[in-house]
Amino acid sequence: MTATSTTRVLSRFIAGFNYEDLSKEAIKEVKRHTLDTLGDALGAYGYKIKPVNITLNLIKSMGGREESTIIGDGGKVPCPNATLINTYQSQVLEYNDTHPDVAAHAGQNVVNSSLAVAEREKVTGRDLITAIALGYEVEVRVGLGISGLWGAGAFKHIHIQNTPGPTAAASKLLRLNEDQMVDAFGISMARSLISSEWIYEDTGYGLWSGMAARDAVMAVLLAREGKGGPEMIIDGKSGIAQLLSTKYDINKVVEGLGKTSKVSETWFKYHASGHGSHTSIDAALEVMKKHRINKDEIEEITVRASPKLSNAFDPIDSKRKPVNPQAAMFSVPYCVAVAVLRGKVTSDDFTKEAIIEPERLNVANKVSFIPDPEFPQWAVTLTFKMKDHQLFSAHVDYPKGSTKNPVTDRELEDKFEFLASKTLSNNKVQKIISIVDHLEELGSVSELMELVKKD
């Protein structure tokens, strides 16, 4: 095997990286994303979503060593299984963070796998921060190297991007050496394909993320015991780059290692929906606030945006009347209608009951899309046409929560409080916020995980 394989370069970097190598900005962003991801999981547990509960109950019934905590439930199960269910919970509400260039949702799998392994190993907050930062770095870089999200045909890269990050983070926490890390990447990334049909079903949406993160943790544990894996899993003739991308650039995986902070580049979600709807939501909220629009006087709402956002509009009839909560999360007409009627878009708006409310569907039916190839990827101009022919517009270039339109610490805490309060008392919610804010001072991650149990 070549000594310069991509997985070896990554492994050497991870093995030699320490907490002291992190910038103050990266440390702060790790803490913000940790809080955000915990909120997603606690909120999902509180909603008692049937497919999640089925998975949770099965995992608990399987038993095993009590190593890591199931967020919300509080039961302890083997570390890989806790990773699976906690990652699933953090994904299912579609409130999770996203890197704009690769659509990698690193938080759900990197943070949850790191928490599960860190609790098992009883490591410090500093160790946890270091592992999470490395997980984001590797997760995003692999996505950049294989040219983003979409693979050939019905296959998606998102499963790939749910495996390298947890592998990196768990390898660091379990103190694997360079050769063992190379093996871990080979084992985990050999299981990197899913069908994009998962996107369109609400019966199991997000489960793939948990299964991929679990596989990553299992791969690391196997590698630590001496199990080998293919070193050329990324750049070999049958590696994932060749298999899934026609525009891959392996250099993007490793160039500038140690000089970037991918966690600092990752966007938060301020609204509980697919990211393609967020600038439209922001624009609708701006018009409603500025002009005090009477919803009963709206005749039409048009959204001018890049054709790259067309998946959130087409086919327009089904987007105006989504068939399930999952479809509603990826519908601009529905999300704009919610923004108009409620002044916000949260996970409360994606229940089976909420998505069939006649008033919401009535407004959604008034939303139309004008594709404009001159528009950048995220930019939208949203225009309200009133029954008296007045026009009211707003233009938004980047969604709230992006690095170009950031959320404040207080706004992130508000989001966490909203979600976590569906499972925990306010006393526990505030304690978690405080601990995460001072995560580098934490003697054992177990102290944090004691607080994520339902009251």
CB of 428 closer than 8 Å to CB of 307: no
Phi-psi region at 185: left, alpha or beta (left = phi > 0; alpha = psi -120 to 50): alpha
Q: Which two tokens stand for residue 246?
A: 């026609």
Query: Which pLDDT belongs to residue 150?
Result: 45
pLDDT of the chain along its 455 residues, tens only? Answer: 445 899 999 999 999 999 999 999 999 999 999 999 999 999 999 999 999 999 999 999 999 999 999 999 999 999 999 999 999 999 999 999 999 988 778 999 999 999 999 999 999 999 999 999 999 999 999 988 886 544 444 455 555 668 999 999 999 999 999 999 999 999 998 876 666 666 656 666 788 889 999 999 999 999 999 999 999 998 888 888 877 767 788 899 999 999 999 999 999 999 999 999 999 999 999 999 999 999 999 999 999 999 988 888 989 999 999 999 989 999 999 999 999 999 999 999 999 999 999 999 999 999 999 999 999 999 999 999 999 999 999 999 999 999 999 999 999 999 999 999 999 999 999 999 999 999 999 999 999 999 999 98
Q: Which of 89, 138, 151, 152 is nearest to 110 (CA)?
A: 138
Query: Which pLDDT belongs to residue 194?
Result: 63
Q: How far is CA 252 from CA 40, 137, 143, 255, 256, in A?
A: 30, 12, 9, 5, 8
**Residue where the block lists tokens 């007045």:** 390
Domain ranges (residues) in the chain: 6-268+407-452, 275-396
Q: Which of 131, 120, 119, 196 is nearest to 158 (CA)?
A: 196
**Which element (helix H / strand E) includes 115?**
helix 112-121
pTM: 0.95
Residues 6 or more apart whose Cβ sits within 8 Å of residue 261: 22, 23, 25, 26, 29, 133, 137
Q: Which two tokens stand for residue 96?
A: 């999770």
Question: What's the one-letter identity of residue 155?
Answer: F
**Residue where the block lists tokens 């039409």:** 300
Secondary-structure class of domain 275-396 per CATH:
alpha beta
Cα Dmax for the chain = 73
Architecture of domain 6-268+407-452: Orthogonal Bundle (1.10)
What does DSSP say about strands 367-371 and 298-305: parallel, antiparallel, or unpaired? parallel
